[in-house]
Amino acid sequence: MVRLEPRAEISPVMRWLTPPLAVILTIIAGAILFLAMGYDPARSLRAFFIAPLSSAYGLAELGVKATPLILIATGLAVGFRAGVWNIGAEGQLTLGALAGGYVGLLFWGQAGWFILPLMMIAGVLGGMAWAAIPAFLKAKFDVNEILVSLMLTYVGLLLLSALIYGPLRSPEGFGFPESRMFSPSAQLPNLIAGTRLHLGAVITGVIVLIVWFLMSRTLFGFQVTVIGQAPAAARFAGFSRSRMIWISLMMGGGLSGLAGLFEVTGPIGQIVPTISPGYGFTAIIVAFLGRLHPLGCVLAGLLVALSYLGGENAQITVGMPQAVTGVFQGMLLFFLLAADVLVRYRLRVGKPAPALIPTRGGR
Amino acid sequence: MAPPAAPAPRLALTGIRKAYPGVLANDDVALTVEEGEIHALLGENGAGKSTLVKIIYGVLAPDEGEIRWAGRPVRIASPNAARQLGIGMVFQHFSLFEALSVLENVALGMDGEKNWQALAGRIVEVSRAYGLPLDPTREVHELSVGERQRIEIVRCLLQAPKLLIMDEPTSVLTPQEVDRLFLTLRQLASEGVSILYISHKLHEIKALCDAATIMRGGKVVAHCDPKVETARSMATLMVGSNFAAPEKPAKRLKRAPRFQVNALDLESSEAFGTSLKEVSFEVRAGEIFGIAGVAGNGQTELLAALSGERPVEAEAIIIDGNRAGALGPRARRGLGLAYIPEERNGHAAIPDLTLAENALLSAFDRRALLTNGVIRFARASAFAEEVIERFSVKATGPDARASSLSGGNLQKFVVGREILQAPNVLIAAQPTWGVDAGAAAAIHQALLDLATHGVAVLVVSQDLDELLVLTDRMAVINGGRLSRPLVTGEATLEEIGLLMGGLHDLPDDIPAVETAAVNQHVQAL
Amino acid sequence: MDGTVALLAAVIVASTPLLFAAIGELVAERSGVLNLGVEGMMLAGAVTGFAVTLTTGSHLVGIGSAAVAGAAMALVFAVLTLSLMANQVATGLALTIFGVGLSALVGSSFVGTPLPRLPRLDIPGLSDLPVVGPLLFRHDVLVYGAVALTLAVAWFLAKTRGGMILRAVGENHEAAHGLGYNVIHIRYLAVLFGGLCAGLGGAFLSIAYTPMWIEQMTAGRGWIALALVVFAAWRPLRVLVGAYLFGGVTILQLHAQGLGLFAVPSQVMSMLPYIATIIVLVVISIGPWKARLQAPACLGRPFLPTN
The DSSP-derived string for A242-285 is: HHHHHHHHHHHHHHHHHHHHHHIIIII-S--S---SSHHHHHHH
Contact A236 B309 (CB under 8 A): yes
> What per-residue confidence (pLDDT) applies to B504?
37
Q: How confident is the model at residue B516 (pLDDT cuts 50, 70, 90)?
A: very low
Exposure letters A317-335 (e unless 16+ CB within 10 A, then b) = ebebbbbbbbbbbbbbbbb
Q: How confident is the model at residue A176 (pLDDT cuts 50, 70, 90)?
A: confident
The amino acid sitting at B355 is L
Q: Which residues of C touch B94 (CB under 8 A)?
A: 175
Residue B509 carries which DSSP code? S
- Domain residue spans of chain B: 11-239, 245-336+423-506, 346-421
Centroid of chain to Cα A356: 36
**Do C221 and C122 touch, CB atoms closer than 8 A?**
no
- By C-alpha distance, which of A321, A302, A304 is closest to A312? A321
Whole-angstrom CA distances from B359 to B220, B376, B470, C231 are: 38, 12, 26, 42
Whole-angstrom CA distances from C168 to A92, B17, B100, B111 are: 40, 33, 8, 14
Q: What percent of chain C has pLDDT over 90?
A: 63
Please give the full DSSP string across B328-391, using - where no structure is assigned. -HHHHHHTTEEEE-S-TBTTTB-TTSBHHHHHHHHHTTTTT-EETTEE-HHHHHHHHHHHHHHT
Residues C231, C224: Cα–Cα separation, whole Å: 10
CATH 3.30.1180.20 corresponds to the domain B11-239: no
Residues C280, C63: Cα–Cα separation, whole Å: 31
Facing A147 at nearest CB: one of C85, C102, C227: C227
Residue C307 within any structural domain of the chain: no
By CB neighbour count within 10 A (0-12 exposed, 13-18 middle, 19+ buried), where does C290 fall?
middle
The amino acid sitting at A89 is A
Residues C158, C137: Cα–Cα separation, whole Å: 27
CA atoms within 13 A on the CB side of B341: 23
With 50 as the cut, is the pLDDT of residue B522 above it?
no
CA atoms within 13 A on the CB side of C230: 27
Residues A310, A316: Cα–Cα separation, whole Å: 10
With 70 as the cut, is the pLDDT of residue B250 above it?
no
Residue C210 carries which DSSP code? S
CA atoms within 13 A on the CB side of C3: 2
Contact C223 A151 (CB under 8 A): yes
Q: Which residues of B touch A8 (CB under 8 A)?
A: 21-22, 403-404
More confident residue, B290 or B435: B290
Residue of chain B with shortest Cα separation from A213: B374
End-to-end, the C-alpha distance of chain B in Å comes to 60
Whole-angstrom CA distances from B65 to A357, B79, B362, C235 are: 21, 18, 47, 49
Q: Residue range A67-86: average pLDDT?
A: 96
Contact C105 A321 (CB under 8 A): yes
Residue C74 within any structural domain of the chain: yes
| Domains: count for chain C | 1
Matching fold, domains B11-239 and B245-336+423-506: yes
CB atoms under 10 Å from CB of B361, counted, come to 24
Facing A147 at nearest CB: one of C84, C86, C277: C277
More confident residue, A156 or C9: A156
Q: How confident is the model at residue A175 (pLDDT cuts 50, 70, 90)?
A: confident
**Do A152 and A90 touch, CB atoms closer than 8 A?**
no
Mean pLDDT estimate for chain C = 90
> What per-residue confidence (pLDDT) applies to A238?
95
Q: How confident is the model at residue A306 (pLDDT cuts 50, 70, 90)?
A: very high
> What per-residue confidence (pLDDT) applies to A274?
93
**Domain CATH for C101:** 1.10.3470
More confident residue, B1 or B498: B498
> What per-residue confidence (pLDDT) applies to B464?
79
Per-residue pLDDT reduced to its tens digit, A311-329: 999 989 888 888 888 899 9
**Do A256 and A262 touch, CB atoms closer than 8 A?**
no
With 90 as the cut, is the pLDDT of residue B249 above it?
no
Give me Rg for the CA atoms of chain A. Answer: 22
Name all chains with 3 or more CB-CB pairs below 8 Å to chain A: B, C
This prediction's pTM:
0.86
Q: How confident is the model at residue A362 (pLDDT cuts 50, 70, 90)?
A: very low
Facing A358 at nearest CB: one of B20, B333, B348: B20
Q: Residue range A294-310: average pLDDT?
A: 94
Q: How confident is the model at residue B518 (pLDDT cuts 50, 70, 90)?
A: very low
Q: Residue range C185-203: average pLDDT?
A: 97
Q: How confident is the model at residue A220 (pLDDT cuts 50, 70, 90)?
A: very high
**Domain boundaries B245-336+423-506, corresponding CATH code:** 3.40.50.300
Q: How confident is the model at residue B445 (pLDDT cuts 50, 70, 90)?
A: very high
Residue of chain A with shortest Cα separation from B48: A359
Residues C197, C264: Cα–Cα separation, whole Å: 36
Residue C175 within any structural domain of the chain: yes
Q: What percent of chain B has pLDDT over 70?
A: 89
CA atoms within 13 A on the CB side of B214: 20
Per-residue pLDDT reduced to its tens digit, C98-109: 999 999 999 988
Strands of the sheet with B257-266, listed across from one edge: B276-284, B257-266, B317-319, B322-323
Per-residue pLDDT reduced to its tens digit, B116-151: 788 888 899 888 888 888 889 898 888 877 888 889
CB atoms under 10 Å from CB of B118, counted, come to 11
Per-residue pLDDT reduced to its tens digit, A250-281: 999 999 999 999 999 999 999 999 999 999 99
- By C-alpha distance, which of B250, B176, B162, B151 is closest to B492? B176
Mean pLDDT is highest, among A312-321, B248-257, C61-70, C247-256, for: C61-70
With 90 as the cut, is the pLDDT of residue B194 above it?
yes
> What per-residue confidence (pLDDT) applies to B511?
40
Residues B310, B333: Cα–Cα separation, whole Å: 14
Lowest mean pLDDT among A172-181, B275-284, B371-380, B454-463: A172-181
Contact C178 B79 (CB under 8 A): yes
Q: Residue range C109-115: average pLDDT?
A: 87
Put simply, the chain B residues between 486 and 515 with a CB less than 8 A from any chain C CB are none
Centroid of chain to Cα A264: 17
> What per-residue confidence (pLDDT) applies to B232?
75
**Do A257 and A93 touch, CB atoms closer than 8 A?**
yes
Residues C288, C295: Cα–Cα separation, whole Å: 16
Helix (H, G, I), strand (E, B) or coil at B482: strand
Q: Residue range B210-227: average pLDDT?
A: 90
> What per-residue confidence (pLDDT) applies to B149?
86
By CB neighbour count within 10 A (0-12 exposed, 13-18 middle, 19+ buried), where does C244 fall?
middle
Give the orientation angle of helix C141-159 with respect to helix C183-204, to 10 degrees: 160
Q: What does residue A169 show for φ and ψ, rounded to 5 degrees?
A: -65, 140
Q: How confident is the model at residue B170 (pLDDT cuts 50, 70, 90)?
A: confident
Contact A155 C108 (CB under 8 A): no
Cβ contacts of residue A79 below 8 Å, gap of 6+? Answer: A85, A86, A248, A249, A251, A252
Q: Which residues of B touch A353 (CB under 8 A)?
A: 60-61
Lowest mean pLDDT among A30-34, A37-41, B238-242, C36-40: B238-242
CB atoms under 10 Å from CB of B249, counted, come to 12
Residues A284, A287: Cα–Cα separation, whole Å: 5
Q: Residue range C201-212: average pLDDT?
A: 94
Residues C85, C79: Cα–Cα separation, whole Å: 8
Centroid of chain to Cα B327: 31
The nearest CA of chain C is from the CA of A183 a distance in Å of 28
The nearest CA of chain C is from the CA of B166 a distance in Å of 15
* β-strand partners of B195: B38, B164
Residues B216, B66: Cα–Cα separation, whole Å: 20
Residue B309 carries which DSSP code? S
Q: Is B109 on the interface with C (CB under 8 A)?
A: yes
Residues C71, B364: Cα–Cα separation, whole Å: 50
Helix (H, G, I), strand (E, B) or coil at B88: strand
> What per-residue confidence (pLDDT) applies to C293?
65
Size of interface A-C (CB pairs under 8 A): 145
Q: How confident is the model at residue B469 (pLDDT cuts 50, 70, 90)?
A: confident
> What per-residue confidence (pLDDT) applies to C292?
56
Residue of chain A with shortest Cα separation from C88: A337
Q: Residue range A160-179: average pLDDT?
A: 90
Residues B223, B204: Cα–Cα separation, whole Å: 17
Q: What is the ipTM of this complex?
A: 0.89
Residues A215, A17: Cα–Cα separation, whole Å: 22
> What per-residue confidence (pLDDT) applies to B383?
97
Put simply, the chain B residues between 23 and 62 with a CB less than 8 A from any chain C CB are 59-61
- Strands B194-199 and B163-167 come out as parallel
Contact B45 A362 (CB under 8 A): yes
> What per-residue confidence (pLDDT) applies to B112?
65
Contact A151 C305 (CB under 8 A): no
Helix (H, G, I), strand (E, B) or coil at B433: coil
Please give the full DSSP string across B165-193, using - where no structure is assigned. EEESTTTTS-HHHHHHHHHHHHHHHHTT-
Mean pLDDT is highest, among A256-265, B163-172, B184-193, B290-299, for: A256-265
By CB neighbour count within 10 A (0-12 exposed, 13-18 middle, 19+ buried), where does B113 fall?
middle
Residues B520, C7: Cα–Cα separation, whole Å: 40
Per-residue pLDDT reduced to its tens digit, C64-92: 999 999 999 999 999 999 999 898 988 99
Whole-angstrom CA distances from B95 to B153, B163, C66 are: 11, 19, 39
Q: How confident is the model at residue A358 (pLDDT cuts 50, 70, 90)?
A: very low
CA atoms within 13 A on the CB side of B219: 6
Q: Residue range B412-417: average pLDDT?
A: 96
